[in-house]
A and B are shown apart, each in its own frame.
Chain A
Amino acid sequence: MSLPGPARADRPGWLAAAQMLLPLIAGGMAIATLYGAFFYAAREKTMGDVQRIFYFHAPAGIMCFLAFFVTFLASIAYLRTRRRIWDIVGHSSVEAGMLLTSIVLLTGPFWARPVWGTWWTWEARLVWTLVLWMIYAGYLLLRRYTDDPDQQARFAAVMGIVGFLDVPIVYYSVHWWRGHHPLVLKVSGGGGLEPTMRIVFLGGIITYLFLYMALMALRVPLGRMEDDLRRLEASSRARARGRRDMARVT
């Protein structure tokens, strides 16, 4: 790959299109879901309108799981092929996943407080999300504190694999720990979501899916640029050192 020129010029066409289209679709879906959440979905019987947080709270939880799965796959791919792009994809996906997990953790209490009277409860799903957040915060910290880039990529890949292997085990252990937790999601009537609610919930999932893809479309090329920069800086430093040594010798 030659020296990067003005960044916009050498983006492949499909990437430029994706970087414009995906956020637009995500934004459009968000508006549609927002409308649906407030004006289309039925009002929940016991919790009232506060329950409408659910349409942007729960889908984020599902999407963050997808993000970490992508990191899991990218980590394996990196260790096998040693191609930088997989390392960048893995890193980017963790950042996106952490954003989504943070959304879940921060919106949950706003739902819990009016409904259960407390900001936080050691309920299985919340604890699981918290542990997930901590595991991948560890991933990001590990990257930050490893100086050598090659080592960073390898360590992060191992962490990405080990962390994800842990996810189902944490899920089950936390649920057994808590016994039968109150069903947070199933709201109206006997159980299961009412049709209008189901549609809006689906809308929420699609919104977050496009949000995730948009974030990746923005973050991954940035990662490649930063990687190129680092490589260029290293080689220019090496060249400067070479010139200095030559000057000393001659």
Chain B
Amino acid sequence: MNPPPAVTPAGAAAPAATPDSQAAHAARADHHAARRARGPDMGVRAELARAALVAAKDLRIEMRSLDNVPAMFFFALLVLVILSFGFDFSTAKFSDVGAGVLWVAFVFPAVLSFGHAFALERDGECLSGLRLTPADAGTLYLGKLAANIVFMLAMEAAILPLSAVLFGYDLAPVLAPLAFVIAVHSVGFCAVGTLFGAMTARTRRGDVLLPILLFSVSVPLMLAAVRTTSAVLNGGGLWDGLTKTWLVMTCLFDLVFTTAAWLSFQYLLEE
């Protein structure tokens, strides 16, 4: 059903799948020793290359099956349509309420995508296969994160011009700052979403738990996203007073949570 992971295990010892944490510790030590024995496979470049491989695997699966991004696109479109029923856009200006509408349309499909990213692995027992690879848990996280970012940006790139048509606002003059704002906030959202997506893939009612956890923690990001998008839609620049403050906070958020998730991902993958 799912194609096997593109990264082949390179002879590393499979970590023992017992619940005994001592055995798991020993297995991990074996794993690391085997990695060291193989020689200079370490280093940041090698890890990043492995992350890229993980990401490429997910992207390739998506390109063959077209499971994820089209569904995200249509869901986002639906959200735009439904929200346009809620607000009277004949009288309301898009630049006033548009930021909120856009972000709701971006964020809800993204949540589905995060759940999908790890459901994929669970179905084919691919997670065990991935754990057999020399890749670090953190590397796996980065790979998944990269793929999620690509999916989310792809959906947003399709929706944005469509929203300009539907809501009749002029996209061209604000495109560059808008694209930047959307991208930088999407990265943060994906960072948290990939972490929680991995967690909730293994819980009951994970599909409901994911948005609960994700939206609570992402509140600052959402506030920043809506505020900066609104400012940009109204013709403001990226370096204007408060917008700059928001963007600095977003970059901080992105950094802190990507790092935290990268460091803690190993604790999520243990058997």
In the complex, A touching B, CB below 8 Å? yes
Q: Which of A137, A157, A166, A170 contacts B267 (CB 8 A)?
A: A157
Most buried by A among B203, B246, B257: B203
Asked whether any CB of chain B lies closer than 8 Å to the CB of A131, the reply is yes
Binding site for A on B (CB under 8 A): 19, 21, 192, 195, 199-200, 202-206, 209, 212-213, 216-217, 219-220, 223-224, 227, 242, 245-246, 249, 252-253, 256-257, 260-261, 264, 267-268, 270
Residues of A within 8 Å of B200, CB to CB, are 142
Binding site of B, secondary structure by majority: helix, strand, loop or mixed? Answer: helix
Apart from A147-B203, A155-B268, A166-B219, what are 13 other A-B pairs with CB-CB below 8 Å? A79-B264, A131-B216, A134-B216, A150-B19, A158-B268, A162-B257, A162-B264, A169-B249, A173-B219, A173-B220, A173-B224, A174-B220, A176-B223
Q: A145 contacts which of B206, B219, B220, B256 (Cβ < 8 Å)?
A: B206
Q: How distant is the Cα of A142 from the Cα of B19 in the complex, in angstroms?
A: 20
Check A169/B256 contact, CB under 8 A, given A146-B202, A174-B219, A174-B223.
yes
CA separation between A172 and B256, bound complex, in Å? 15
Contact of B213 among A138, A154, A157, A169 (CB under 8 A): A138
A-side interface size class: 20 to 34
**Cα of A162 to Cα of B227 in the assembled complex, Å:** 24
- Contacts A142-B203, A158-B199 given; indicate if A176 touches B245 (C-beta within 8 A): yes
Cβ-based interface call for A165 (8 A): yes
Which 3 pairs, one residue from A and one from B, show the smallest C-beta to C-beta distance? A173-B220, A134-B216, A138-B213
Binding site for B on A (CB under 8 A): 79, 82, 131, 134-135, 137-138, 141-142, 145-147, 150-151, 154-155, 157-159, 161-163, 165-166, 169-170, 172-174, 176-177
**What would 18 A/B residue contacts be, using CB atoms closer than 8 Å?**
A134-B212, A135-B216, A138-B209, A138-B212, A141-B212, A145-B204, A145-B206, A147-B204, A150-B21, A150-B270, A155-B199, A159-B213, A162-B192, A162-B217, A162-B260, A165-B256, A172-B220, A174-B219
